[in-house]
Amino acid sequence: MRIISILLALFFGLSSHAEDGSALWLRYVTGTKAEISCRKQSPTLNIAVSELQKYWKGGLPVDLEVNATKELRALGNEGYTIRTSADGKQITIASSGEQGVLYGVYHLLRLQAAEQLSESNSDSTPNSKLKVLNISEKPDYRIRILNHWDNLDGTIERGYAGHSLWKWEELPAVVSPRYEAYARANASIGINATVLNNVNASPKILSDEYLQKVKVLADIFRPYGLKVYLSINFSSPAALGGLPTSDPLNKEVIAWWKKKTKEIYSLIPDFGGFLVKANSEGQPGPCDYGRTHAEGANMLADVLKTYRGIVMWRAFVYSPTDSDRAKQAYLEFEPLDGKFRDNVIVQIKNGPIDFQPREPFSPLFGAMKKTPVMPEFQITQEYLGFSNHLAFLAPMWKECLDSDTYVQGAGSTIARVTDGSLFAHPLTAIAGVTNIGDDINWCGHPFAQANWYAFGRLAWKHSLSSEEIGEEWLKQTFLPIAGQPSHNSVNETSQKERQQLHSQLSLLNSQLLQESREAVVDYMMPLGLHHIFAWGHHYGPEPWCDIPGARPDWMPSYYHRADDGGIGFDRSSKGSNATAQYHSPLCEQLDDVNTCPEKLLLWFHHVPWNHQMKSGRTLWAELCYAYDRGVQEIRNFQKLWAPMEKYIDPERFRDVQHRLKIQARDAVWWKDACLLYFQQFSKQPIPYELERPVHELKDMMEYKLNITNFECPPYGIIK
Amino acid sequence: MRIISILLALFFGLSSHAEDGSALWLRYVTGTKAEISCRKQSPTLNIAVSELQKYWKGGLPVDLEVNATKELRALGNEGYTIRTSADGKQITIASSGEQGVLYGVYHLLRLQAAEQLSESNSDSTPNSKLKVLNISEKPDYRIRILNHWDNLDGTIERGYAGHSLWKWEELPAVVSPRYEAYARANASIGINATVLNNVNASPKILSDEYLQKVKVLADIFRPYGLKVYLSINFSSPAALGGLPTSDPLNKEVIAWWKKKTKEIYSLIPDFGGFLVKANSEGQPGPCDYGRTHAEGANMLADVLKTYRGIVMWRAFVYSPTDSDRAKQAYLEFEPLDGKFRDNVIVQIKNGPIDFQPREPFSPLFGAMKKTPVMPEFQITQEYLGFSNHLAFLAPMWKECLDSDTYVQGAGSTIARVTDGSLFAHPLTAIAGVTNIGDDINWCGHPFAQANWYAFGRLAWKHSLSSEEIGEEWLKQTFLPIAGQPSHNSVNETSQKERQQLHSQLSLLNSQLLQESREAVVDYMMPLGLHHIFAWGHHYGPEPWCDIPGARPDWMPSYYHRADDGGIGFDRSSKGSNATAQYHSPLCEQLDDVNTCPEKLLLWFHHVPWNHQMKSGRTLWAELCYAYDRGVQEIRNFQKLWAPMEKYIDPERFRDVQHRLKIQARDAVWWKDACLLYFQQFSKQPIPYELERPVHELKDMMEYKLNITNFECPPYGIIK
């Protein structure tokens, strides 16, 4: 009987229809036209009405209102309220701005798709009554922006979901329907801005030809409240304009930027502004002319000011000469605090190095008080297994946002440092380097959609828990799309299956999504290890990597410093003293090997192999246990995913199943590579109770994965 | 402290000296010259004396006696007694033959090396007194013979330990010291015969040139009691002698064989005889001329009779036309029972197909009553992972020898059918297809030596348990070679380490050696599955293998017969009726799906996927559990082996460690390949509590291991 029911589920169950992932979390199906009213009309409001008419299945009519009540004004033109009327016969979505109404509409549809609208607590009671709604929302950040690292040739730097969504060669003539789908998806989670091109920017993006193309995209995005920004190359005046210099204090240079900016705004009146990577990793910048970052940024800010445009100036700088790369952004930018125009915001990566699986937060977040700063998160998994590995990043971003900088005493979290509540900068923003490409499912890994989703949700409301976001996303993504609360044709069998599915999704949230980033840390770089990746592409381990003549700070040994005495980078006061860049009492906590959190131990300390950890194990044994735990976790993820074959379409089921296989193999490779390599220094056995390596260090050291940094190896490290 | 002691063990412990495995289980070191007496001198007795003088450390003098007492005559010229004198001041090794004395000497040295000579039960008390010896031994089989499948070009068919030990191109001029070492190793475990060349025999082996080479080897082997035999090509009269035919009834052919045989005996007076693979897999034979196997064998037997030579005639025959390959040897040979000369012995593989990880015994063992029959075991691991996988084969051979044929009622085990005790044939023999090559450690895998060892020990005494043999071998192979009972320089620390080592060896025996063959069955072909190997080389799984135009009985699907209805070969009375070839009550037991042992279920039955097994699981689930258990077992072997790094030389430690890694990876590949392939038919999920596959069926089906059947893939299935 059990088998028969499994078979039935396999062949006739909830999973019978095919899905390709292109709908993202917006897997809505049209039913009978819902009763939606709105007194005004506009492109944005028309979208809002249309979305509800097509997809609202809650039974009650919905009224959309743009209204400047005091309450609504306080929520801003993006905030909204959603309320059930006193007689329970209507729902009203209201905002002081059209954009707020649209966001409210998507919120209501999200609640519906996530089955969070019914009165009963049981998610799986589709016939239960709609609960009374009393929702009031406003965004925590003014600018919630994606950074595309898309090149004009269609490649994406660190992009693992195909080629660029922007078909520059076809634009402006040919317009892909995916441009609007992209805008809609962003609007549905509150993302209101996007930088179309790579921070390693081609000057060509500012050419007349390309601006015509950009304009087309901006026009499509506008009704969805999505503003366009561009990365600029600081040498554009010379490279594109033919000037002899790009010195930001040169009058001709300034004039060139003025003219170019005017041209941009004539095409795109609501253009957002520029994102600049200057004097970093070979990019040009003001320092080439003896000017400071502030002087460079301010010149552009002055030009943009007229149009209410802004400059996002990246603090990701480091030179090969300094002794500790982790200190350099702070050393270069902290002295410039207060020297920037008020329409400049300094964009700071979450950690002081570069998007590692785990970093401490960048001390710049606690250092710039007079200058608006914004976090830059990486949604694309450059250092987290590309689109092969499942890693839900909300926990990582929450870890950063919730970190206490102590800049104004306890409670000075990065969230509060950047959202305008601690320092009352009106300009607030948060950026995510996106994982979007032209793959049919947008992000490569079906679960990578969850990171796009989570970025949007956290950018809107950073107090959301990772668990809430995970639950929302899982339900929207995997519940049967016919299963809305008012759906009546559910028979008893599928009712039971729905309950099982809800239980399974709950397990997937708590044991897979929420654990996934920590699992990656475990099998890649536990205990504060960082940047021991393979050269160039950053897929797979190369703690041994040694490229003759290469920058020392691009070598894994620069970061892990393993030797017979121990492992880790001494950034304490006895070492590079990077700990001093943090405020007290964090500074002292990190500085002391006995109080430094163990998850960051080897980031801040060079620790003897036999150092006793809180578990009672030695450091070496603890490292072994962590790597082993990582491997076992991924195997457990496979087990958690397997029963989903009963509930969802085979296409997405197999896609995830396939990638989890890769991840499981890669995790073993990571564990074996790192433990066998570091064992040469620890000279101690891997604790005998742990699963043994299956690869030889020698083989792994000889192995080279032949990919560029635009590719994701289709079979993982080994086929 | 714990770490320090581990480090000490690593660097200064018992493991400090290097070993290359070339000493096999004879890791003796010379000490002070022992007091050994022997009244006679001869090449054989001189070896016996010399071995003891060099290696006996038991303190007591040893006297060697060739003596024709009634007791000793009953033990035959290979049997012996070992006794401590009444006053406890001398040991006497006595035999009616010189060979028996030599075997007794090796037995005494074996007891010494395995630390089984001391009075105390504790193996790790090196200073305890010698126990009183009262040993009486004689071999169960008259001929205990190795079959080398060595080709004259130096390759070895199904050999995975390098090239042939026989350097034909150098012989007779150059004589490798390994020839004598080979003879000594065989003598030390009671092997008294060897067939030098492949059963797929080149006629050239009988050329004058090659016989000169063979003579050199025979002369070296003789003092060790090792007789030389040759495989012959049945077409030799035509191919080598230039005759128009090789018809065994042709007078010229008979004359040619007479002349050739005379030549052989003139060079090698104690030449053993011929091994013949005729009319099998393309080899020539009497059937080519319309003669029976008996007519072919008898012709050669008549020729050899003069010289007391014998013919070993292989029953390994099958043609592509019959419906069930498993029945064919029986069908062809059973009618010939009683038709063979008394110096012909029919050599039968343990199972009816071909050396699979598990087969039922060949029904021919219970069918030939008037004809001597001998078991042919395969020591080389053609179907058990080559020299990459650890599989101790004593349990497999014991399983065969202990099988009850019921030919004379209960208790008619194959051991008794073949050792002369059930049918009083004076000619008894047992053959092992050897795993020896010119690798420095002889057998490739350090643990493959255990199979050579076990074959010799079982051929001598089939009542030895696999556990006894395993313990003997492990101790001789891995105990520190200085650690003999009378050795006095053992300090307290190493005394403790010795106890730990003994415990570890005990674990290795019970949990690794004894479990290893069953583990291989589990991850390769559990529940009676067979022959689903990769085409040609037989390394790795190809249950899907389909070579257009190839013999159907060389296709895996011929054997597994998986379809939507179930899996397995119906050899019951409803199918091919192969069960009828067995005697009652075994026949009925095998014939009924409910009484057939589950470990042979799919050999004899086509069983529905949902058939309920004794565990309560369905067949499909049971299959999944078996494959999974196989994988987990190998991981456990790795864990059991790991602590050995503290006790033994790094060379052998790492060699085994390396091969266990390969085996662990291969086991996962086997499991994934078979389960994902068969799942296409079962259409059921792998039970969700089991570890999930990490490979894709599609990838595995596309993968081809590019090796011949002379090679062992150095990295296993995948690098």
Measured between beta carbons, the chain A residues lying within 8 angstroms of B692 are: 635, 638-639, 641-642, 657, 660-661, 664
Q: Does B689 reach chain A within 8 Å, measured CB to CB?
A: yes
DSSP assignment letter at B145: E
pLDDT band at B319 (very low <50, low <70, confident <90, very high): confident
CB pair distance less than 8 Å for B694 and A639:
no
Residues B128 and B151 in one domain: no
pLDDT at B551: 87
User: Dmax of chain A from CA atoms?
Assistant: 83
> CB–CB of A182/A164 below 8 Å?
no
Region A563-577: what's the mean pLDDT?
A: 98
CATH code, domain carrying A198: 3.20.20.80
Chain B window 627-646: which residues touch A at a Cβ cutoff of 8 Å?
Answer: 635, 638-639, 641-643, 645-646
pLDDT digits (tens, 9 = 90+) for A246-271: 999 999 999 999 999 999 999 999 99
Confidence of residue B492 (pLDDT cuts 50, 70, 90): low
- B260 with B373, same domain: the answer is yes
**Residue A701 — φ and ψ, nearest 5°?**
-70, -25
pLDDT at B451: 98
Question: Residue B41: what pLDDT?
Answer: 97
Answer yes or no: is A229 within a domain. yes
In a domain, B14, yes or no: no
Of the candidates A99, A122, A138, which is a domain's last residue? Answer: A138
Three-state SS string over A552-596 comes to HHHCHHHHHCCECCEECCCCCCCCCCHHHHCCCCHHHHHHCCCCC
The bridge status of strand B91-95 relative to strand A429-433 is unpaired
Say whether both B214 and B86 belong to one domain.
Answer: no
Answer yes or no: do B37 and B163 share one domain: no
Q: Which residue in B523, B476, B478, B481 sits closest to B628, CA to CA?
A: B523
Q: Does pLDDT of B481 surpass 90? A: no
**By CA distance, what is A666's nearest residue in B?**
B694
Judged on CB neighbours under 10 Å (0-12, 13-18, 19+), B544 is buried
Report the Cα–Cα distance between both ends of chain B, in Å, rounded. Answer: 39
Percent of chain B with pLDDT over 70: 95
Name the more confident of B505 and A32. Answer: B505
Q: Say if residue A522 is in the same domain as residue A671.
A: yes
Average pLDDT of A269-275? 98
Q: What is the pLDDT of residues B344-367, one digit of tens each?
A: 999 999 999 999 999 999 999 989
Q: What is the pLDDT of residue A64?
A: 98
Residue A12 forms contact with B (CB below 8 Å): no
Cα distances (Å, whole numbers) of residue A621 to A527, A528, A626, A688, B89: 12, 15, 9, 10, 54
Is B366 within the bounds of a domain?
yes
CB contacts of B635 in chain A (<8 Å) are 691-692
- Asked if A35 is an active-site residue, the reply is no
pLDDT value, residue A492: 53
Would an 8 Å CB–CB cutoff place B564 in contact with chain A? no
Q: Distance between CA atoms of A299 and A634, rounded to whole angstroms?
A: 50
Same domain for A378 and A490: no
Q: How far apart are CA A624 and CA A527, in angstroms?
A: 11
A344-348, B550-554, B626-630, B682-686: segment of lowest average pLDDT: B550-554
Tokens of B602: 């799919």
Q: Which amino acid is at B64?
A: L
pLDDT over 60 at A6, yes or no: no
Inter-chain touch A696–B643, beta carbons under 8 Å: no
User: Does B661 sit within 8 Å of A693, measured CB to CB?
Assistant: yes
Poorest-pLDDT segment among A219-228, A376-385, B322-331: B322-331
Contact A299, A340 (CB under 8 A): no
Q: Is A693 on the interface with B (CB under 8 A)?
A: yes
When divided into structural domains, chain A yields a total of 3
Contact indicator for B105, B154 with CB cutoff of 8 Å: no
Task: List C-alpha distances in Å: B292 to B280, B297, B443, B549.
Answer: 13, 9, 38, 29
Average pLDDT over residues B62-80: 97
Rounded distance, CA B361 to CA B363, Å? 6
Flag whether B711 is in a domain. no
CB contact under 8 A, B683 and A7: yes
- DSSP label of A146: E
Give pairs for A419-424: CB < 8 Å, separation 24+: A419/A140, A419/A141, A419/A462, A420/A142, A423/A369, A423/A370, A423/A372
- Catalytic site residues of B? 281, 354, 382
Binned at pLDDT 50, 70 and 90, residue B245 comes out as very high
Tell me what ipTM this predicted complex has: 0.92
pLDDT above 50: residue B286? yes
Give dist(CA B190, CA B655) in Å, integer.
Answer: 28
Stated length of chain B: 719
Q: Secondary structure of chain B: what % helix, strand, coil (to 5)?
A: 40, 10, 45
At B343 the pLDDT is 98
Instruction: Let me know whether B114 and B197 are in one domain.
Output: no
At B172 the pLDDT is 97
Percentage above 90 pLDDT, chain A: 90
* pLDDT average, residue stretch A638-646: 97
Confidence of residue B8 (pLDDT cuts 50, 70, 90): very low
| A70 and A154, same domain (yes or no) | no
| Domain closes at, from A445, A468, A491 | A468
- A357-394 pLDDT per residue, tens: 999 999 999 999 999 999 999 999 999 999 999 999 99
Is B278 inside a domain boundary?
A: yes
Examine residue A359 and state whether it is found in any structural domain, yes or no: yes
Check CB contact under 8 Å for A691 and B658. no
For the domain that residue B634 is a member of, what is the CATH number? 3.90.1330.10
Q: Minimum mean pLDDT among A28-37, A443-452, B492-501, B680-689: which range?
A: B492-501
Q: Are residues A148 and A129 in the same domain?
A: no
pLDDT at B490: 40
DSSP letter at A88 equals S
Parent domain of B242? 143-476
- CB contacts of A507 in chain B (<8 Å) are none
Is A596 contained in some domain?
Answer: no
Closest C-alpha among A651, A714, A660, A443 to residue A20: A651
pLDDT above 70 for B13: no
Which of A15, A641, A694, A699 has the most B C-beta neighbours within 10 Å, making it the best mutation to test the interface with B?
A: A694
Whether the per-residue pLDDT at A1 is higher than 50: the answer is no
Same-domain pairing of B409 and B262 = yes
Q: What is the pLDDT of residue B483?
A: 42
pLDDT in tens, A661-715: 999 999 999 999 999 999 999 999 999 999 999 999 999 999 999 998 889 999 9
Tell me the pairing of strands B134-137 and B80-84.
antiparallel
> Per-residue pLDDT for B320 more than 80?
no
Task: Let me know whether A315 and A400 are in one domain.
Answer: yes
- DSSP category for residue A307: T
Model pLDDT, residue B132: 96
Using an 8 Å CB-CB cutoff, list chain A residues near B715.
699
Residue B31 near chain A (CB below 8 Å): no
A468 and A114 Cβ atoms separated by less than 8 Å: no
Chain A residue closest in CA terms to B617: A3
Helix axes B492-507, B466-478, angle to 10 degrees: 140
- Chain A hits for B639, CB-CB cut-off 8 Å, are 688-692
Confidence of residue B624 (pLDDT cuts 50, 70, 90): very high
Pairing of strands B36-38, A429-433: unpaired
User: What average pLDDT does the structure give for chain B?
Assistant: 94
Q: Which of A508, A609, A675, A688 to mutate against chain B (most B CBs within 10 Å)?
A: A688
Of A618, A683, A694, the CB nearest to B665: A694
| Any domain includes B508 | no
Taking every pair of Cα atoms in chain B, the longest distance, rounded to a whole number of angstroms, is 83
Among A88, A114, A138, the domain boundary falls at A138
Q: Is B664 on the interface with A (CB under 8 A)?
A: yes
Closest Cα in chain B to A684: B7
Residue B298, H or E segment:
helix B293-305
Average the pLDDT over B429-446 and give the result.
98
CATH number reported for the structural domain that contains residue B102 in this entry: 3.30.379.10
Per-residue pLDDT at B118: 86
Residue B2: what pLDDT?
45
Among the partner residues B3, B657, B693, nearest to A610 by beta-carbon distance: B3
pLDDT at A321: 72
In 3-state terms, what secondary structure has residue A345?
strand
For residues B166 and B101, what is the distance between their CA atoms, to the nearest angstrom? 28
Instruction: Say whether both B553 and B644 belong to one domain.
Output: yes
Nearest to B684 among A3, A610, A695 (CB): A3
Closest to B694 (Cβ–Cβ): which among A661, A688, A689?
A661
